[in-house]
Amino acid sequence: MNDLNWMQIVSALALIMFIVILFPATLDKLKNSPQGTSQEWMGFISILVVILLFIAFLISLV
Amino acid sequence: MNQNYTTIAQKSSSVLATNKILRNTYMLLSLTLLFSGFTAALSMFMNMPPMTYLISVIGGMVIAMFVLPRFAHSTAGIGIVFLITGMLGFGLGPILTMYASLPNGGNIITLSLAGTGVIFLGLSAYALATRKDFSFLGGFLMVGFLLVLLAAIANIFLAIPAMSLAISAVVIMIMSGFILYDTSRIIHGGETNYVLATIGLYMTIFNIFISLLQILGIMGNDD
């Protein structure tokens, strides 16, 4: 088994461990988070669009 | 009348407490970022092998998840934050060395740093200025993060560059959401511990920087 395969397997195991650890907290957040209004969600989506445009701008500078 | 004075006094004391947490959080965050920069430079100078990144990230995350919460309310918590951020910075060394060796590597690293700074400062300023409550994002961000982790596991074995790009872009979106969510939690009293607030914000900055490096590295590579 070469170095790369060893690192791939350890990375995958670490990610699986993080998923298992974070899963209960995720369920808890899903149950207990307040519902956002459509206006709040639209505000958040607008922010994400601005960030996407900013990333595209950064790519154009490389 | 007395009740009004009491309410006003309680409100102003709550605002003062929030401002103190914000000030301490940003102060500790600045110091940990500087320390990370130092350990990253040290790691580059020592020419550490690529596996350093993997070991540092896993070690840092394990300490952040299992050790830090036990000491977050004591002075030892500050030392542990520096240990975690120092480890993560040290892990960045080989990655930065790899990007620096690319023909336009210096440009990619500089743009990733600047981009991370602009995203973090912009979103923090937005959350602080508007004082909006972003607590509704909690479940969405956690589910999104888990889905990204699943996609990342799949791509470890599939190794599709387009999928790496998509994952990095989604990570930046999710981490941006976490900046709004975490800052809003501090403002609205949901997070009263500046040590935990610092590590949360540090992780978002770290992930945005790594993802931007990956996106700009792939897009800026002509080969």
Largest CA distance in chain B: 74
Q: What is the pLDDT of residue B62?
A: 92
Q: What is the pLDDT of residue A39?
A: 93
In whole angstroms, give the CA distance from residue B36 to residue B55: 16
**Partner-chain residue, chosen from B51, B146, B173, that has the shortest CB–CB distance to A7:** B51
Distances (CA, A) of B150 to A27, A38, B34: 16, 28, 32
Is B173 in Cβ contact with A52 (below 8 Å)? yes
Query: B53-77: per-residue pLDDT in tens?
Result: 999 999 999 999 999 999 988 999 9
**pLDDT at residue B29 greater than cutoff 80:** yes
What is the residue-wise DSSP string for B20-51?
A: HHHHHHHHHHHHHHHHHHHHHHHHHHTT--TH
pTM of the predicted structure, to 2 decimals: 0.91
Query: B158-176: per-residue pLDDT in tens?
Result: 889 899 999 999 999 999 9
Is B153 in Cβ contact with A33 (below 8 Å)? no
Domain positions in chain A: 3-61
Chain A residues within 8 A of B157 when measuring between CB atoms: 8, 12
Q: How far away is chain A from the Cα of B15, in angstroms, using its nearest Cα? A: 23
In whole angstroms, give the CA distance from residue B214 to residue B162: 11
Q: What is the pLDDT of residue B50?
A: 87
**Partner-chain residue, chosen from A25, A40, A43, that has the shortest CB–CB distance to B142:** A25
**Partner-chain residue, chosen from B58, B135, B157, that has the shortest CB–CB distance to A34:** B135
Contacts of B121 (CB under 8 A, 6+ apart): none
First to last CA, chain A: 37
Is A55 in Cβ contact with B172 (below 8 Å)? yes
pLDDT-derived band at A8 (thresholds 50, 70, 90) equals confident
Query: B91-120: per-residue pLDDT in tens?
Result: 999 999 999 998 889 999 999 999 999 999
ipTM over 0.95: no
In whole angstroms, give the CA distance from residue B106 to residue B94: 14
Is B180 in Cβ contact with A47 (below 8 Å)? yes
Average pLDDT over residues A30-48: 92
Chain B residues within 8 A of A14 when measuring between CB atoms: 54, 57-58, 61
In whole angstroms, give the CA distance from residue A12 to residue A18: 10
Is A55 in Cβ contact with B212 (below 8 Å)? yes
* Total Cβ atoms within 10 A of residue B196: 19
**pLDDT at residue B30 greater than cutoff 70:** yes
Is B173 in Cβ contact with A19 (below 8 Å)? no
Query: CA of A35: which chain B residue's CA is closest?
Result: B136
In whole angstroms, give the CA distance from residue B184 to residue B134: 6
Q: Which of B171, B123, B207 is nearest to A44 (CA)?
A: B123
Assess contact for B32 and B198: CB atoms under 8 A: yes
Considering A28-42, B12-26, B118-132, the range whose residues carry the highest mean pLDDT is B118-132
Residue A13: enclosing H or E segment and its boundaries? helix A3-32
Is B139 in Cβ contact with A29 (below 8 Å)? yes
**Which region among A36-40, B13-17, B163-167 has the lowest average model confidence (pLDDT)?**
B13-17
Assess contact for B7 and B172: CB atoms under 8 A: no
What Rg value do the Cα atoms of chain B yield, rounded? 19
A33 torsion bin: left (phi>0), alpha (psi -120 to 50), beta (else): beta
Average pLDDT over residues B13-38: 90
If you count residue pairs, one on A and one on B, with CB atoms under 8 Å apart, how many are there?
107
pLDDT-derived band at B142 (thresholds 50, 70, 90) equals very high
pLDDT-derived band at A1 (thresholds 50, 70, 90) equals very low
**What's the whole-number average pLDDT of chain B?**
91
**pLDDT at residue B223 greater than cutoff 70:** no
Q: Which of B33, B24, B22 is nearest to B82 (CA)?
A: B33
Residue B223: DSSP 8-state: -
Give the residue ranges of DSSP H helices in chain B: 2-45, 51-62, 68-71, 76-100, 105-130, 138-158, 161-187, 194-219
Q: What is the pLDDT of residue B113?
A: 96
